[in-house]
Each structure stands twice: as C-alpha cells, then as structure tokens.
Structure 1
Amino acid sequence: MTSIGEALVAHLAVRGVECVFGIPGVHTIELYRGLAASGIRHVTPRHEQGAGFMADGYARVSGKPGVAFVITGPGLTNTLTAMGQARADSVPMLVVSGVNAMDSLGKSLGHLHELPDQQALARTVALVSERVESADHLAPALERAFAPFQSGRPGPTHIEIPLDVAGQAHTVSDLPAIPEPKSIVDPDQIARAAEMLANAQTPVILAGGGARFAATEIRKLAEKLGAPVVQTVNARGVLYDHPLGVPASPSLTAVRDLIEASDVTLAVGTELGQTDYDMYATGKMPAMRSLIRIDLCPDQLARHAADVPVLGDATQALTALTAQLETNAPCADGAEHAAKTRRAAFEEIGPEMRTLSDTLCAMRSAVPNAIIVGDSAYPIYAGNLYYDHDRPGGWFNAATGFGALGYGIPAAIGAALADPSASVICIAGDGGAQFSLPELMCAVDENLPITFVIWNNHGYQEIATSMQAVDVTVVGCDPTPPDFEHVARSCGMPFWQCGPEAKTIASTLKAASCERGPTLIEIRAPNVAHAS
C-alpha cells in the first residue's frame, strides 16, 4: 500500500520523467514522499516562475515534457507566466500543484494560499487542467495531462491534488504501458503536396519550431527541390551554413520578397504568427501562393487556410514527401535566390544589428555547437533578425511569442540539465537578468556548465528607443543594475568583464567556457538610447 502522492511519482517515472523542478511546501509534502527513492532528479529553483522556465528549457532540448512541482495559490500563480511562454511556443510542460482541502474549495474560508477557483485560473493557460479527487482519478488524470504531448500541438498541462487527497492510500499494482506516440500522415495529402512541389519553379520552405527535430529531413527535401529554407527564430540551426539556408526573420522585406516571389510555399511546423512574420505590426502577412502546411495541430491548420493541409509530425511528413517526389532536377536558381536574400536581409537590419549579429557569430566560433538561450536582450533581438546557428534547436529565447522577461537564466539551467554534454550560453540583459538573478545559485548547486553573459547597457534600451521613436519622454527605463562582479563572487562563480567588441567577447567566452561549472561574464555596453 502506498499514497496517491507516491503513486503519482511512480507513474511519472514510468512515463520517462527523469527530472522535476520544484520548491517543496506544506501543500506538496506528500508529493515528495516517494521522490527520493524514485530515481527522478529533483532540482530546486529559487522561485516557482524559475521552476516553470527551467521545465521549458529542459523540454526544448530533450524533447520530453518538463515537469514542475509547485504549491497551491502563489506557487501556481508564480508559474503561470512560464506556462504562458510554453503555450506560445508549443513546449510540453506538466505543472503539478497542490490545492486546499476538498471541503474548503470555493468557499473563501481564509485558508492558507487560498484562491477562489485555482483550477479555473490554470485553465486560462493550460491545455488541460485536472484535479485528482481520489485514487481512481490519478491514472486517468495523468493520461489526459500527457495526451497533448503524445499527439497534436504540445503545451503546458496541469494537475492539482488537494491537501487531504495526496496522502490517501493508493495501491500501485501494474503501472500501465505507455504507448508510443503515433502520427499517421494522410498519403493522399502527401501525394497532392508532392505534385505541387514537383511542378514548382520557385518553391520556398518556411521552417518553424515544429521542424527543429527534423533538420535532416528539411535538408534532404530542400536539396531535392532546390528550395530556399527560411528559418524562424525557433528553427535556427536546421540548415546551418547551407547554400539554401535563409537564417533571417520572415518579417524583413527581403525575406517577404522571397516568399512572395515563390510559386509554392511549404510551411513546416510554424504557426505563421505575428512575432515571426509581422514583428513590425504592419497588419499584413507576406502573401503565399499555393500554400502547403505541415503541422501536428488540426486547429492550427484551420487558422491559416492552406491549399494542402498535412496533419502530422514534421519528420514523418517530410520523409514521406521526399520519398514521393521523383524529381532529380532541383530548381537551379534556389541557391542564388537564397544568397541574394541573405545579403539583402543582412543589409536591411542596419549597422547596429549587423554588428551584434557578427558578435553572435564570433561567440558561436568560440564555443562551437553550444546551446544559446536568450532573454529579451539587445544581442538576442539582433540574432532573431539575422543569425545562423550551428546546432538545430540550439538557439531559443523569450523575445518572441509570449515575450516573458526573466526567462534566460532559468531556461538555460533546464537546457543544461537536459543535455549534460552540451556547453550552454545564456545571454541576458542587465534588466531582464534582475527578474531571475537568484537562479544563478541553482546553477551553482547543480554545478552546470553554463556561461551566463550579461549584456549590461544600464537599462531597458529597447523600450527606451521605442519611446523615443514616438516622442514619449523616456521614463522608467534605467533601473540601476547590481555590481555583477560582486554577484558572481557571492555565488562562488568565476567572473570576467569585457567590452562589446566581438573579438574581445569571443576570447573571454572561450576562456570562461573552459571552467568547470557556471561562470559569469559582464559585457559593458553603452546605452545608445540614453546617450542620445
């Protein structure tokens, strides 16, 4: 005989969960009863929002759902921001929370951590929210919470266990076998798509975050078609340093021109969202003729009508599509069109962003094949406009989609835990870093090989620049940063400081990456907006 809390942990282990991010509290003690003996690693963040962001970074790198344990009330509300980011970027995340005793729910009796309706709040963000009210509810609740990770578009899900239920008796006998996820691609739709692409003169491929694990398949199809591949932020790296690669934002005029000049557009794993395709808020998406879409989510396919909608996993659909195509005469001008677009897009972003993009390239060369996790920092904005990364899925940040500040530091911790063999670089601004600075100690506790790069321009430069652009007096954009050297020393982390020149940053980063465990680099950059 065991408890419901212990049974939950056993079920998670069977489902392949290897790591849980959480801060124990009186409302989750029973969830921890079986954790130590389960083989699941527990990582303690300094804030529940950090737990959620760590779960996000872990999921993006591992491809498995990130799991967080949080208390009722403030524990869950603190995690909602991270759940919002995960929902925007289709990141699989399970949040398990406590909730007050069953007979108190909804009665406003003044209990500790009480909310009027916690589950209703969770449902505003979670794809699924389940309450376990008895032992019989546990397995079905887990099945429903994991269902979005098995098929369709993933995102955050939630399970809450009342305080008086978690310790109740539960008999764990035979844990259910977990079926392998299945994605059956319609052969008729593949045939239609193949026919359109076979007859295309100037095809283009749009790769989104849903294609980041299908880099090999993207390359094979692109080469067979001679089609340029435009990579959104979450797809950078799928075609690194390739003649057909276009590692630039589809919001740029040069990239829009490429898309609009194409006679067939194949969009793979991209929601065609505003922050990728219309970041300048013109209200217009680039026109796409003869659109083929591949996506896991039928609702997503319905939001932007396509001539041929293909429901299914990107890897399977692309493999089937490549096999169906008989053409051995790829479009001869594809590489030329891609090169022209790269040159025009790089010119379009302007001298300041070009310099920052070059800086990112120098960092990439200093630490090859690293995972670069970003916050809403100036170099990240530049990289999202134009930057080619050397690792599929190795460039991601919170400067698009939901756009949550404070993401970078904890998400980098999750990424490092997901792939212990990888070097991880976190790029955060001095403003965004202060949202989650205490999480540095979590990286120290876990002895993770992360180089935290703080781009210190003494304020919210991007916001200040935006205010100035519309003649609003700059107010509130200059929060005083801490002394980052003292921060590093207080955490027991090696510290470097350098200027914003690309060569200096690269050499400093190379030295820092040779250290064991986490390190911190402060880049002293001018605040252009305030200087003007």
Structure 2
Amino acid sequence: MTTVGESLVRLLEANGVEIVFGIPGVHTVELYRGLAGSSIRHITPRHEQGAGFMADGYARVSGKPGVAFVITGPGLTNTITAMAQARADSVPMLVISGVNALASLGKGLGFLHELPDQRGMMQKVALTSTRIERPEQLAPAIDEAFARLAVGRPGPVHIEVPLDVMRLPSAAPQEPRAWTDDLRMMEQPILDAARLAAAAERPLILAGGGARRAEAELGELAELLHAPVVTTINARGLLHRHPLGVPASPSLPAVRKLMADSDLVIAVGTEFGPTDYDIYANGGFVLPPKLVRIDIDDGQLRRRPATVAIEADAARALRRVVQSMRESVRRNSVKRADGAARADEARRGARAELEPGMDVQLEAVEMIRDALPGAIIVGDSTQPVYAANMFYDHDRPGGWFNAATGYGALGYGAPAAIGAALAAPDAPVVCLTGDGGFQFTLPELGAARDARTPVIFVVWNNRGYREIELSMRSASVEPVGVSPAPPDFCAVAAAYGLPAERVKSLADLPAALRSAREANQPFVIEIEVP
C-alpha cells in the first residue's frame, strides 16, 4: 500500500526536487516514510527558520524551488520569517507541513502543536496555502503548487497535510504536468517601447532582481541604445566592469542625477522599493516622466504608473524589445549622448558619496571578490553588506544577495549560504555576516558540517549592533541593548570540529580566504573590527 505521505514524496521527485530541508518531528513521521526510500537528499538545519533560509539560498542559486518539510504549529511558525523574506524577494519556495487531524481543526481542544487556524495564518504570508483533506486532492495540489512557482512572480507556497490523511492509502502518483509561462506579450506595448527608445537621446536602464537571469539580453539592449544600466541590490553581478554598468544605489544623489538627466528610463524587474530607491527616507525619489516598465507581475505594474507597461519575464521581453527596436533605431538618426561617459560620471560620483567608514567596509567585500573569483557572497545585515549594497560591482550574475534589503531578516546569511553551496557545489560560497546577526543562526555551523558544504563564514566582529547604535546616536537616543557580547567564534567553530582563523587587519584577509578555500570544508574567518 502506498500512503499519501509516500505519494507526496514521489510527486516531489517527479517534479525534479533533489533536496529537502527540514527537521523531522512526530507530525511529519509519515512524510519521512516516503523520503527515506527516495532519491531526495535531506538536509537537517538546527532550527526551522534555518530550513526556510536554506531553501531560499538554494532557490536563488539553482533557479529551482527550495523545499522545506516542517512540523505543525511551532515548526511552521518558525519558518514564517523565511517565507516572508522569500515573498519580499520573489524567491520560489515550497513549504510542506503537517497539521492536526481533520476532525480536531478549529475546535481548540488542546492538541499538541495546535493553532487556532494554521492555514488561515499561512494565507497571509504564502502566495497560496492548500490543505489536503482526501488522497485524490494530493496530485492536483502538487501540480498547482509547482505551477504557481513556475508561472508569474514566484514566492512561498504552502501545503499542509493532516496527520490522519498522511496515513491514508493513495493511488499511484500520476506524472506531473509540464508548466510553462504561456503569457502572450501584447505587441502594441513592445512597439510603443521601441518607438520611445528610438527617439531617446539620453536613455537609462534600471535593472532589478527580476533581471538577474537576463544578462545577455540586458547588455544587448544597453549597447544598442548606448544606455547606462543601474543595478539594484538583487541585480548586482550583471554587466560586471561593463563601461555602461552603474552598480550603485538609486538612493545616492549621483544616481538620482543620472535618472533626472535621462529623457527615457526603462525599468526591468524592479519594484521601486524604498530599500533600493529611498534608503535614507528623504523623499528624493520620484518616478521618471517617461518610463517603460517590464515586469512579470501585473500587480507591480499597476502599483507604479508607467508610460508603457510590458507584463512578461525579463529575458523574453528584452529579446522582443531589442528585435523591434533595431529597425526603429536604424531608421531614427537621433544623436545619443555618450552612455559610457554618463555611466562613468555616475559611478565616480556614487562612490565618492558613500558615508564615512564605508570605504573600509567596501574594501573588505572587494577583497573577498578578488581573492575568490566567481564566488557567491550571501550577506546578512552587517556593515560591509550595507556598504556594498550602496556601491559594489560583483563578478557573477546572481552571486550577490542578502537580507539587508526588503524584509530584512537577521540571521539569514549562514543558512542561506548553506543552501547556495548545495545548489552550486563547485563555486566558492561566502557567508558575510556580523557578530550580532551570526548569533541568530550560529548553530547552523553544525548543519554545514553535516552537509559537507565548504561555506566560508566571514564574521565582521564589531561587538554589537553597530549600525543600530549609530542610528540611536544620530537620533539623540542613548544607546540601549546594542552591545550583546559575542562569543569566541573561533572556539565555537572548533567545538563543531571546524577550522577557523582570526584576522586583526584587512591586509591578512585575502590569505585567510585562500586558506579557507583550500581547506574545502566549512571554515570561519573572524575579522576583529577596531
């Protein structure tokens, strides 16, 4: 007899799932009956929040949904933070949980891990939340989940299976449906965008996280129009060292000047969120008067008005726009401004506008990039990450991401880096974290060891929440609660049987990074910040 739990695992296998992140409990035992005999690898974090963050990091690097198994109640509520981060950053994540027996739901009888309305709670965070109440509902629910993850703007999807339903007999799973984005781009917006671009003398492109897998198409459009390309945080790594690239925050005056001086802005996969466009909350960002928007999400297009709106995947839309634009540009003899010179001026100005102290923090990030070419750097909320989010040119598309933007969950870096390393086992993977944020998920060092992922954990140890302390002082508030004592991180690494090194000067960081890479196992580097 095949149970619902076993059929669920077989359906995950059929949909290409290779790794599941989770902590088994009495409310998921029946799911693990199917998992043990499958080809799916199981990774055990030290906390369910870590399971969600690992699934997030895996999804961002692999391009496939990250999958987590969590128990009813506290297991699921522990995962909500990671799901909210995934929703903010459009990361495909499938969370499968248990729930108490069907007859008990909503009655407040005091069962183990009981919530008043678990599914109702998840519907506020997940894109969709589905309960399997009968075996025949399982295959359609899995199909629907993977469709939601494959088509349109991705995010977290939740499925819950009651304890009594997990054990029920189930028919052999059907083959999964093949899902493709069959969204048909309207021809008129494409032609309108081409017409505007052909007539522009000083065009500009804004690239967001939705463009991170469209580097070739983005570069082709930029070169066709001689247009600078400003990359937001989640787009860093695109057009590395390209003369038209501007890897700087649109919150900086030099980048805002570039935008204001442009007679057309083409925004690709960016939601114009404040953590990119108005980080200092000074109200200095305004939408350009001539704006072409390309976004996969119709809801996003409706939230910010545009002269022309194109609802489509970034790469597909850019290919069509370039095709239509070539003829328009050839026919139109507009004299364009020197895009490379405009980009260079913006780059120089933006770097000069960084806050005091950020130059040293940025230097640390650039040392990591240069010592480990092609590395994936997964950041937490810490000073070097803040600095690089303002200005930093990474050398790998999709290789720079962190939780210091959007939802902004502390503790993200370590588990997300483990997920990233599982998705790209041949690439150097660095977790860049602060001493405060690292302590949120410090036990995941054990998960890194178990999974044999050679993540290099670089800890910026300034002994507290330094950025919060500075914010308090700037607001004339006496700092309170910003100096949690850090442990000896090298000793903690040793307790897990992992190598570690403490550096007291940034000059020693490149050698430490190379040693860590050669060790080919999880490695902690602690930077003592004066």
Alignment TM-score, normalising by the size of structure 2 = 0.97
The alignment's C-alpha RMSD in Å is 1.2
Equivalent residues in 2 for 1:236-251 (5 A)?
A: 236-251=236-251
1:508 matched to 2:518: no
Partner AA of 1:456 in structure 2? N
* Equivalent residue, structure 2, for 1:46: 46
Structure 2, unpaired ranges of 5+:
none
| Structure 1 residue 518 corresponds to structure 2 residue 522 | yes
Give the corresponding residue for 2:497: 492
TM-superposed CA distance for 1:283, in Å, is: 3.3
Distance 2:442 2:173 in 1: 44
In 2, are the aligned partners of 1:100 and 1:111 still within 8 Å (CA)? yes
Shift of 1:177: 3.1
- For 1:422-441, what aligned pairs fall within 5 Å after superposition? 422-441=427-446
Letter in 2 for 1:337: R
Identity of aligned residues (%): 57
**Which portions of structure 1, spanning 4 or more consecutive aligned residues, are displaced by more than 4 angstroms?**
none
In structure 2, relative to structure 1, the CA distance for the partners of 1:452 and 1:423 (3 Å cut) is same
Alignment of 1:50-69 (within 5 A): 50-69=50-69
Could you say which residue in structure 2 is the equivalent of 1:275?
275
Q: Partners in 2 of 1:523 and 1:358 — Cα distance?
A: 13
What is the TM-score with the length of structure 1 in the denominator? 0.97
Quote how far apart the aligned CAs of 1:500 are.
4.4
Map of 1:124 onto structure 2 = 124
C-alpha contact 1:260 1:287 (8 A) present in aligned 2: no
Are 1:99 and 2:104 an aligned pair? no
> Distance in 1 between the 2:392 and 2:504 partners?
21
**Paired letter, 1:525:** V
Number of equivalences: 525
Letter in 1 for 2:168: Q
Q: CA deviation at 1:11?
A: 1.0
The answer to whether the 8 A contact 1:185-1:316 is kept is: no
Task: Choose the corresponding residue for 1:359, options 364, 368, 372.
Answer: 364
Q: Quick one: which amino acid aligns to residue 388 of structure 1?
A: D
Kept in 1: contact 2:151–2:180 (CA 8 A): no
* C-alpha distance in structure 2 between counterparts of 1:287 and 1:176, whole Å: 43
Partner residue, 1:473: 478
Partners of 1:297 and 1:147 lie apart in 2 by 15
Q: Which residue of 2 is the match for residue 168 of structure 1?
A: 168
Aligned pairs (5 A) from 1:275-314? 275-314=275-314
TM-fit CA distance, 1:146: 2.3
Equivalent residues of 1:259, 1:286 under 8 A apart: no
Task: Check whether the contact 2:217–2:315 (CA below 8 A) recurs between aligned residues.
Answer: yes
Q: Which amino acid letter does the alignment assign opposite residue 393 of structure 1?
A: G
Question: 1:384 aligned to 2:389?
Answer: yes
> Residues 228 and 337 of structure 1 are in contact (CA less than 8 Å); yes or no, is this contact kept in structure 2?
yes
Cα deviation, residue 37, structure 1: 2.2
Q: Where in structure 2 are the equivalents of 1:136-285 lying within 5 Å? A: 136-285=136-285
Query: Which 10-residue stretch deviates more, 31-40 or 486-495?
Result: 31-40
Q: Is residue 2:409 matched to residue 1:404?
A: yes
Q: Is the 8 A contact 1:85 1:403 kept in 2?
A: yes
| Counterpart residue type for residue 417 of structure 1 | L
Deviations 1:379-438 (A, max 9, x none): 000000000000000000000000000000000000000111111000010000000000
Residues 227, 331 of structure 1: 8 Å contact kept? no
Matches within 5 A, 1:8-47: 8-47=8-47
Separation in structure 2 between the aligned mates of residue 433 and residue 173 of structure 1, nearest angstrom: 42
| AA matched with 2:487 | P
1:340 counterpart = 2:345: yes
- Secondary structure in structure 2 of the residue aligned to 1:496: strand
- Match for residue 530 of structure 1? none
Determine the structure 2 residue equivalent to 1:529: none
